[in-house]
Structure 1
């Protein structure tokens, strides 16, 4: 079966997630058999979680097997200080992010997941109260950032893998921590599934069939939502919710969920999606609702939902620009200010004035071209600057005189005895996250 699956892919380079246990050992040796007849490239990666005193021995076992079979092996270590809260999830996230960073662009990641693993994942999703998407559990093929994970044993039971391994007289690691039922997955594996299998011998395969049905239903729903969502997404990736009050709640929440799915983050819970629906669609038009989703947040501005990365507050930040002939780097990866001939024409500072940059101002402002002062909040609204961006715009001051919101407006300071200067707000900083994929 694995040979048939591998033949489907143009890429013939594979990275095996090799723990040294039964599943990944069978996977490795199956690939070695295929390699005798067909041209494929194999590498392996072993992640040492450092959870037991035997961890180092397991790493040495993996090195030995790979050396014997001439397979390049990557060994990485994970050390988590807090081993009490949600340890399984923390290890999974760290493990897959490490693997992703080692995976070549032309490689496919292969894992040894089987039907038993699929059933356990199904039960964990059931415990969390997941819908069809969560109950879909694992797919044969999953996009992994811009790369792929393939699970060739997903239709095989653990007993089938074990039978093949014994026939081939393979040696693998028995991780006795898998018997520790303090972990949810181990509890399901050792206490729940054996009872169900004893009662119904076909239970595992029927459980697997349910995950396939959920996957099919999810694909159909997503195909339907995809057609509708792109009519609602604006140029800035915000979601137009102008007519959501006239649409059934189930459709609204499905559209919100799919919009967030496109952001490639860990999918929020059912409760969070319902919260976004209630607070964003039905709160007062002048309110500024915010729902935090990990390192991101959903905000509403006018008749649109915006998905933004949470930025540290710059409310009390004060930057002095003593040498204004040198560019001034701004915090929060906002770029820099520089004097040149391409920016905003501003009144220049006097010799004894301190040039400083702030990110907050309250009160009334008279801007150039106006005859009356207005509250700065009204000016931001007029310029269509959403609330979460207002404290990210550099405000230029000379001493305590407010001069300009760079690139947005210039304050009328009614002083003609000043020279002119031109300041640009630029950002050619290379992002450190362009090639980073965070696996949840």
Structure 2
């Protein structure tokens, strides 16, 4: 522990430092990610100085239970928040020790930490993290060595969505040397993480051995890398704007990409659009060596071919001239459920409602929802003949993986049941239109992207 005490009320924090914390986005609750180290301890003092007692300021400490002083660090955070008179939430996590390399453990700890933050934040909440200019330089160099694109070289953004709230980094313009000097002047107390001295971790190796050597030759390294990150961020922004324009040209209202239109783009534009599509759906972009070949196989496959791109939690599939982005392991569906008037039913990615079409509707019908069991038939039009559902789905080009998840809505009359809706693809005229004959309107909607 570095000794010190809470700064006196007369201590004047540098205005440039206070201004970085005062200029935050609008928020409801202000959270500080508190590790107990120099940077987050300083940030906690600043947040309290600038926002208490007029705002709701809180702290969150994630105990990874990896270091010998983990419990002592948690206690330090508790005592610090008591002195600052702000609530503290402590969460202990079990970190997966995947792989033999220390870098694997480092990344697992990071993922566990951010999962806690995502679970904690509510709409309108803002989480402050104490990353500084040295952290940004370290991140850029680490990503460059690992082999990243322009998006990765944009570095850590000052702010971004996180869970239901947002993350914000107010100290990115200051070096660790600056922060250390101000903390010493204020007489702050903090705890050094012993893992920071372990050069087996990739980032520690860069911080201890590589970056000092580079700075000895180029003292303005932080400024130069900050310029690089800003330029890469601008290029990444433009790439996203281009992808959004191509999306308007190539996609339909169901969120599918048309093979014909995708094939008309250059290989670079195809990759940009497909990776943007993946990120937009909330998935991590897979690190494929040759995107051009992968997308080319999706485009050039036989009409009856079934090529796939498998990522972390998702699959891109081709079916009859379209590309679909679907969950790799979709949410399990119930065997069946009753649908009650004016009580929306969630069915996987679907919402199903039954509402009266007039103020004096007929008695509530018995409505049941289920998936395909096999052998279902229905009458697409009142004067038409009974059709097998399986054949109808094939004729309407419904992808095989969707057929098993479509909600089938039945009206139950005694021992008999009659199919009245097939997902959002078809609905009986008895339950649709401006004046449904049944006196009830059935609404089946798929969640939008």
Q: Distance in 2 between matches of 1:70 and 1:373?
A: 70
Q: Hey, what does 1:325 align to over in structure 2?
A: none
Quick one: which of 56, 64, 75 aligns to 2:71?
56
Give the root-mean-square deviation of aligned CA atoms: 4.2
Aligned residues: 394
Q: What do residues 269-326 of structure 1 show as CA deviations (whole Å, max 9, x unaligned)?
A: 2537445412321211221222121111111222222111123699xx99799xxxxx
Name the structure 1 match of 2:404: 391
Distance 1:24 1:366, change over 3 A: closer
Q: In the TM superposition, what is the alpha-carbon distance from 1:217 to its structure 2 partner?
A: 1.3
CA contact (8 A) 1:241 1:281 kept: yes
Aligned-partner Cα distance in 1 for 2:206–2:117: 26
**In the alignment, structure 1 residue 78 sits paired with structure 2 residue 93:** yes
Following TM superposition, by how much is the alpha carbon of 1:124 offset from its aligned partner in structure 2, in angstroms?
2.5
Structure 2 Cα separation of the partners of residues 31 and 366 of structure 1: 65
Does residue 154 of structure 2 align to residue 154 of structure 1? no
In the alignment, does 2:380 pair up with 1:380?
A: no
Q: Is 1:17 equivalent to 2:33 in the alignment?
A: yes
What residue ranges of structure 2 are gaps of 5+ in the alignment? 1-15, 338-344, 353-363, 410-416, 426-441
Please say which of residues 168-177 and 99-108 is displaced more in the overlay: 99-108
Give the direction of change, closer, same or farther, for the CA distance of 1:203–1:263 in structure 2 (3 Å limit): same
C-alpha separation between the residues in 2 aligned to 1:121 and 1:216? 18
What are the residue-to-residue correspondences of 1:72-221 with 2, within 5 Å?
72-84=87-99, 86-221=104-239
Distance 1:330 1:166, change over 3 A: closer
> Where does structure 1 lack aligned partners over 5 or more consecutive residues?
322-328, 345-356, 397-402, 410-425, 435-440
Residue aligning to 2:298: 280
Deviation for aligned residue 1:109: 0.7
- Give, in whole Å, the separation in 1 of the partners of 2:228 and 2:348: 46
**Number of the residue aligned with 1:255:** 273
- TM-score when normalising by structure 2: 0.74
Q: Distance in 2 between matches of 1:141 and 1:258?
A: 19
CA distance in 2 between partners of 1:330 and 1:142 (Å): 30
3-state secondary structure, aligned to 1:152: coil
Separation in 1 of the partners of 2:153 and 2:420?
50
Alpha-carbon displacement from aligned partner over 1:355-398 (angstroms, at most 9, x marks no partner): xx996879xx998799999995x6533122102113335899xx
For 1:104 and 1:373, how far apart are their aligned partners in 2? 49
Where does residue 229 of structure 1 map in the other structure? 247
User: What is the alpha-carbon distance in structure 1 between the residues aligned to residue 237 and residue 351 of structure 2?
Assistant: 41
Counterpart secondary structure, 2:40: helix
Distance 1:204 1:238 in 2: 43
Q: Partner of 1:31 in structure 2? A: 47
Whole-Å separation in 2 of the counterparts to 1:120 and 1:29: 25
Aligned 8 A contact 2:371 2:405 in 1:
no
CA contact (8 A) 2:64 2:109 kept: yes
Moved more, 20-29 or 2-11: 2-11
What does the per-residue CA deviation read over 1:34-78, in whole Å, with 9 as the maximum and x for residues that have no partner?
247x83332100000000221000000000111111011000001
The one of 238, 252, 268 equivalent to 2:256 is: 238
Is 1:298 equivalent to 2:311 in the alignment? no
| Bigger Cα displacement from structure 2, 120-129 vs 204-213 | 120-129
Structure 1 residues 380, 13: CA separation in 2 closer, same or farther (over 3 Å shift)? Answer: closer
Indicate how the Cα distance of structure 1 residues 53 and 299 shifts in structure 2: closer, same or farther if over 3 A, else same.
same
How far 1:211 sits from its partner (Å)? 0.8
Q: Is the 8 A contact 2:347 2:407 kept in 1?
A: no
Q: Is the CA contact (8 Å cut-off) linking 1:393 and 1:405 kept in structure 2?
A: no
CA distance in 2, matches of 1:215, 1:190: 27
Name the CA distance, whole Å, in 2 between partners of 1:277 and 1:335. 33
CA distance in 2, matches of 1:33, 1:194: 33
Deviation at 1:162, TM superposition (A): 0.7
Q: CA deviation at 1:405?
A: 9.1
| Distance in 2, Cα, partners of 1:192 & 1:155 | 21
Give the secondary-structure state (helix, strand or coil) at the position aligned to 1:230.
Answer: helix
**1:148/1:174 CA distance change after superposition, 3 Å:** same
Q: 1:373 to 1:63 in 2, by over 3 A?
A: closer
Using a 3 Å threshold, how does the CA distance of structure 1 residues 309 and 406 change in structure 2: closer, same or farther? farther
Q: Check 1:178–1:427 CA distance in 2 against 1; reply closer, same or farther (3 A cut).
A: farther
Is contact 1:130–1:270 with CA below 8 Å preserved after alignment?
A: no
